[in-house]
Each structure stands twice: as structure tokens, then as C-alpha cells.
Amino acid sequence: MNESNSPPEDAPESEMNSPRPTELERLVGILTRELRKDRRRRRWFRVWTLVALLVLAGSGMGWLLIAPKDQPLHYTAVIEISGLIGLDQENMAQDLESSFEEAFNAEGAAGVVALINSPGGSPVQSGQVYRTLRGLKQAHPQIPLIAVISDIGASGAYYIAAAADEIYVDPASIVGSIGVVSGGFGFVETLRKLGMERRLVTAGERKAMLDPFSPTDPQEEEILQGILDDIHAQFIAAVQQGRGGRLKEDPDLFSGRVWSGREAVNLGLADGTATLTEVADQILEAPIIIDFSVQQDWRSAVFEQLGVNIVNALGLSAMQIR
């Protein structure tokens, strides 16, 4: 037994002197090697799984690129006009025009709806949007433009609505107000009572026209009235162009007064009563509604406010369509 356990005579001296591993050490070594092999197998499994996923993803993308396009989604495009219309409001002509252009050019739009809840505002901004909508209708005759008035669609808001192919209201909506107004205050007597004197120097006879701290001038009032009459005539022409023969003869139609939605339908200012959902579902037959209204970022807000400050500094923001 002793002879069989002794190392051979020609074995290296280091091997003869090193202790033999125990059974436990051999078992630990075997387990370590197996764990290393298992790690390598799992590592390669992950690699090949990732490769397979990338191949599948690439194939899917390739199929999407080469596959024939399905029928585009059928939906109703909506642009909301809510609140005052003007340079110092959310409803700037430039923003609204951009939204309407995007909606008309979008693939799959069954129709474009102007969802209106506004008392009006700037005649300039309203007129610009009106003309833009008329141009978009000519460029896209296959896409109907419909205005839906909720609580109120008056003055400049109705100016915009008149560009639509059809106008729908609620029976209790406030509609109309086809007129123009320019308001202000006079403080001449107030200054006199306070013992204050107005000192004003101008270059140009009418530069300080209708100055609230100076006495009224009949000629200046006549000039302003002429401006208002001209803008009113533009408003009336736009409504007549948009509504055509649907308008009924009524002496108060362009007087600046408002009507309920039901009265507006009877006068031809609107075509019927319907909500946005009803228009999308029953008239356009496209119940899916997608909002194309402009969502301002902070840069737009900063530049818009800069423009507002300039306009206010020049005193050009007082006139409104009402």
C-alpha cells in the first residue's frame, strides 16, 4: 500500500513536494469550472438573443417601409378659438392660420371644424383669419370647413365663422354682433377739478386725435366714424360673401345686435343646431376627433408678449369688432 502511494522516481521535485488536493478541493474546482462555462453560455445566449431581436426589429421596419400603405385614418380635425381674438391674446391670426393650414394639409382629415367660443376682438386679426380660411377652402375644395359655436360666437368670432361652409350653433348660443366699436374715456373735467393742466406738443395736426385729456373735436370724431364705417362695411361684405343667399332680410341684421342660436338659424346666420360631436359623427361621418389647436412654447409666448408691448406702446389696441 505504501509503495503504491509513493510518487514515481522520475516525477518532478516540485510535484513530489506539493500536497495532493483533497476531495473537497477537487469538487470546488469542478464547480468553479462549470460555473465559468455556465456564465459564458449565458453571456452568449444574451448576445445571440439581442442579435435575434435586432434582426426581427429590422425586418419589421423593413416590412413597414416596403409594405403598401393602408387606408389613412378617417378623422375630424378641430381648431379651437376660445376667448378674445387679438395680438395680445392666445388667438393670434398667425397661430390660428398655422393650425388651420396644418389641419387642411393633414392626410386623412374628413373635415375641419372651427370650434368657437369667443366674443370677438381685433378686426385686423379676425379679417386675416377669414381670408386665410377662404384661401384654404379654394386650395382644398374636397375638405369641408364647418364652424361650431358653443356659448358665444359674436363680432370678430362670427367674422371668422362666416368663412365656413356651414355654421352650427346651440339653441342658446349668442350669435351675431356684426358691428364695430371704439371706446374710451374723457378726463377733461377731472383734470380741471384737480387743478391740473394738460400740456401736449405734437408734430402733425391730428397726431393726438381723440386724446382723452383734451376736449373733443367734432372733426376728429367724424374721422374716427369714417374708419369704423369702413371696417363695418368690410365685415358686412365678408358675412354676405360667406353666407350668400341664406341670409334673411332684416333691418337689424347688421346693426351690431346679437341673437340666440335659434334666432340665428331663422335669420340665416347659422345652418342648424349641433354640437362638435354631432357634426363629427353625423355630418362628416368621422367620429374620431383630433385637435390641431396651437400649443404655445415659451419662446412664442415671449415674442408674442414683446409684440403686444409694442402695439400697446403705440396705442393701437383699442379698436374691436363688436
* Rg over CA atoms, the chain: 39
- The pLDDT value recorded for residue 294 is 73
The residue segments making up the domain with residue 82 are: 75-181+220-321
- The pLDDT value recorded for residue 67 is 38
- Which pLDDT tens digit goes with each residue over 24-51? 666 656 656 665 666 566 655 665 665 5
- Which pLDDT tens digit goes with each residue over 258-287? 999 999 999 999 999 999 999 999 999 999
Least trusted range by pLDDT, from 45-54, 92-101, 219-228, 253-262: 45-54
> Residues 117, 85: contact at Cβ < 8 Å?
no
Q: Is 154 within a domain?
A: yes
Going 151 to 157 to 159 to 165, the CA torsion angle's sign is negative
CB-based burial label for 213 (10 Å; 0-12, 13-18, 19+): middle
Mean model confidence pLDDT for the chain: 80
Q: Is 194 within a domain?
A: no
| 176 band by pLDDT with thresholds 50, 70 and 90 | very high
- Count up the domains in the chain and report the number: 2
Distance CA 212, CA 198 (A): 10
Q: Is 208 within a domain?
A: no
Identify whether residues 122 and 61 lie together within a single domain: no
Residue 54 confidence (pLDDT) above 50:
yes
- Which pLDDT tens digit goes with each residue over 181-193? 888 888 888 878 8
- The pLDDT value recorded for residue 267 is 97
- Find the mean pLDDT for residues 68-77: 67
- The pLDDT value recorded for residue 251 is 93
- Find the mean pLDDT for residues 210-220: 83
Identify whether residues 54 and 100 lie together within a single domain: no
Least trusted range by pLDDT, from 69-83, 97-111, 255-269: 69-83
Identify whether residues 79 and 48 lie together within a single domain: no
Identify whether residues 41 and 84 lie together within a single domain: no
- The pLDDT value recorded for residue 119 is 94
Q: CATH number of the domain that 282 lies in?
A: 3.90.226.10
Q: What is the pTM of this model?
A: 0.68
The residue type at 15: E
- The pLDDT value recorded for residue 66 is 36
Q: Is 162 within a domain?
A: yes
- Which pLDDT tens digit goes with each residue over 289-300? 999 987 655 455
- The pLDDT value recorded for residue 35 is 57
- Find the mean pLDDT for residues 84-108: 87
Percent of the chain with pLDDT over 70: 68
Identify whether residues 276 and 144 lie together within a single domain: yes
- Which pLDDT tens digit goes with each residue over 110-122? 999 999 999 999 9
- Which pLDDT tens digit goes with each residue over 10-27? 544 544 454 565 666 666
Which stretches does DSSP call E strand in the chain? 75-82, 109-118, 145-154, 166-169, 174-176, 180-181, 258-260, 272-273, 289-291, 320-321
Identify whether residues 173 and 32 lie together within a single domain: no
- The pLDDT value recorded for residue 4 is 45
Residue finishing a domain among 12, 33, 66: 66
Residue 71 confidence (pLDDT) above 70:
no
